[in-house]
Amino acid sequence: MKLIVGLGNPGAKYAANRHNVGFMAVERIAGDHGFSPWRARFQGEIAEGRLGETRVTLLKPATFMNLSGQSVGEAMRYLKLAPQDVIVLHDELDLTPGKVRLKTGGGHAGHNGLRSLHQHIGEGYRRLRIGIGHPGDKDRVAGYVLSDFAKAEQAGLDDLLRGISDGAAALAAGDDARFMNAVAARVAPARNSGTRPDNPGKGSPEKPAAEPANDPIAEPPSLSDRLRALTERFR
């Protein structure tokens, strides 16, 4: 059994915020993998199902970000799980958008949700850090994380969430390499893998085929040419 937690703030006001990308990720997993409907439990909302061979409870704390540890701690105790059975999905300022990193333990780096988790369950849980980028000035951080993703970011965000969902079974199983490959296949697909066109774009001129260079068999000689050659031969 694994407890996979998405961090965010409850309510429609915050639903599209960068700070809520953890909520977005677990919602995508639940929808793609046929989990049960969300229901109120553990000071939050849960959905239950399987990822591969692993039984999983997904959790969205409804306590607001800075009290997330209360909800996670209650769920963990009820399910009789250790910190290493908990995987937390959260926004990460120090990663560019479209990047993710897996980590176990370590500090909270000022993230209010992680700070609360440290207080309630310790630091031994696993984390999926989901990059949202940095506004460039620490004084702008609060406003930035509580602002919505821009329209120009939506396509990349959707690819990232799909990649996280594609790799969810590997994430639950602890197969970090396979999980990262699944994400990469969505956000940076290999050239000519079937996800990108092989032909040049509409505005790109096609390269002309090379012409034969003095190829003696490019065109067979005509009958008149052969007769002329025989006449010259017997003069």
User: How many angstroms separate the CA atoms of 103 and 125, rounded?
Assistant: 9
β-strand pairing of 44-51 with 39-41 = antiparallel
Name the DSSP class of 204. S
User: How many angstroms separate the CA atoms of 44 and 60, rounded?
Assistant: 6
Q: Among the options 19, 111, 118, 120, which is catalytic? A: 19
With H, G, I as helix, E, B as strand and everything else as coil, classify residue 158. helix
Is residue 19 flagged as an active site residue?
Answer: yes
Cα-based torsion angle of the residue sequence 53, 186, 38, 51 in order, rounded to the nearest 10 degrees: 0
Helix 21-32 with 154-166: angle, nearest 10 deg: 50
CA separation, residue 76 to residues 27, 57, 209, 214, 227 (Å): 20, 10, 65, 78, 96
Q: Which residue has the tokens 């370590």?
A: 106
User: How many angstroms separate the CA atoms of 156 and 152, rounded?
Assistant: 8
H or E element, residue 87: strand 86-92
**Catalytic annotation, residues:** 19
